[in-house]
Amino acid sequence: MVASTTSPPSCIQENQAEGSVVTKNTGRFSTSMCHCQAQKAVQEKNSPLLPEMDPTPMQGRETLKQSLSDSVPATCSSCSRPSLQNLPVELLEKIFLYSMNLALPRSSPLLGAKLSAKVTRRRVIMTAFHENWDWTLGKGEVKSHSEKDKEEVNLPVLPESEKCSEFDAEKFKKEASLQYALLSMPWANIDFILDVEQAWARKHARGRCFKRHNNWGGRFSPGEHASYAPESYHQHILQHSLGELTFDARACFEADYARALAHRIPPGSFSVGTVSEMPELTPPVVPVDLITGPWNEEQKRRLFWLARANLDQYVDPLYLGSRPVEVKLACLDAAVISAEVLDPLIVNCLMGPWLFEDLPRDAEHERLLKLVDRIDRGGEELDMDILRFVVTQLDRDCRFLEYHCSSETEYESESDWEDDVQ
C-alpha cells in the first residue's frame, strides 16, 4: 500500500514562497488585528531578529490609528495644563503687582501685551515707590526755618546708625534695583511720573498735612532769600503757606524747576537744599542715559526730579552708587568737557565726589589740559566758575593751582557756612 502524500494548500505554498510565517487561514493572526496586536506586530517588524516584512494596508491603517490615539491624551493634557498666558488680565496683573518681577512681561510676547496697559504701568510705579513716598510725603506738617526760630521743631530725622538698623540692606538694594529698572523704561517720562505721583497722593496721602517751606538756600543764597525766583514760585509758596493748596505733584515740580533754572550758581556753592523741600525717592536712582547725556528738555526735567529727591546737604544729590569709569568719563565729557554751552542745572545735578573717584591719571590729565585751554580763552563768569570747580576736583597733584577755584568763591571753614545759613 502506497502512502498517499498530500500537498499543502495553495495559500500556504504562496506564503512559504514569500518567506512569510503568517497565513490568513491558520487562525494565528486575523486580518482585523486589535490595537495591542498591531503594536506588537510593529515592534516585531522593527526587531532585527525577525525577517523584515512590509505591513499590509490594513495593518498600516491600524498602526496609524494607534499612533493617533496615543497622541490624543498628551494633546488634551497640554490643553488642560494651567498657563499664565491663559489667565485673565485682571488676575495676571495682581500676580505681577504681588511679585514685582519685571521678567514676567518679558517672558512672552502675549504676557508683555497683556501687562503693557497704561493703568498697569501706573500701578507698578505706585507699588515700587510706595514706601518711599509714604515716608517722605509729609505725614505731619513741615515747618520752615523762619518758624523754627519761633518754636522748637522736632522733625522725624533719625541718626544714621538708627536709619541703618531700621531697614534690611538686601531689601534696600532690591528696591533700588527695581526703581532703577522702572525709571529706565522708555515710557517712564517726567509727565508719566508726575501723574503717578499725584495718583498715589490722592489714594494714600489724602488728608495729610503738607506745607511747603521756603528753605531753598545754597551756601550763597541761604534761608529765605529767593529774590531771583520767578513770581510764579513766590505765589505758589504763598498759597501753600495760607493753606490754599493741597499737594499737587506737577505744580510743586514746575515751581521748583522754574526756580532752579533761575538760580544759576556754580557747583561749589550748590547743595541739595538748593533744589527742593519735597523728596520723592530715598535715595534716588539714576538711569545711565541721564548720567551720560546728551540731555533733551524731558531728560533734563527728569534729572532734576531725581536730584530734588534728597534733602541731605552733606551727600551727593543723586544716589549713583558704584559706576564704571567709562560712565563717569562720559558724564564729565558730556556735561563739561565737550559741552559747547554749559548748563548749570545739569552740572549741579550731577557734579559730586562720586564723579571724580578712581579716575585713571591719564584720563584726568587729558581733560585737565582741555579745561585749562578753555579757561584761558575766557567766557562768562559762571562758566569760568564751573570750569575751575572741575579743575580743582581733577587736579589731585596740584599742577594747575592757578586754575583752581579762587578763594573768593569758597568758604574758609564749615563754621563760616553755618553762620551764613543761620
pLDDT for 248-269, tens place per residue? 788 888 888 888 888 776 665 5
Higher pLDDT, 56 or 377: 377
The three cell numbers of residue 412 are: 574758609
Break the chain into its structural domains and give their ranges: 83-116, 117-144+166-421
pLDDT for res 267: 66
Residue bearing cell 514746575: 254
Amino acid at 117: A
Over residues 9-28, the mean pLDDT reads: 42
Mean pLDDT of 239-246: 61
Mean pLDDT of the chain: 69
Residues 370 and 337: their CA atoms lie apart, in Å, by 7
> Nearest CA to 138 among 211, 70, 84?
211
Of these ranges, 31-45, 73-87, 177-191, the one predicted with the greatest mean pLDDT is 177-191
pTM: 0.64
pLDDT tens digits, residue range 356-377?
A: 888 999 999 999 999 999 999 9
Once rounded to an integer, what is the mean pLDDT over residues 274-280?
Answer: 41
**What is the C-alpha separation between 375 and 368, in angstroms, rounded?**
10
Among positive and negative, which fits the CA dihedral 49, 50, 53, 59? negative
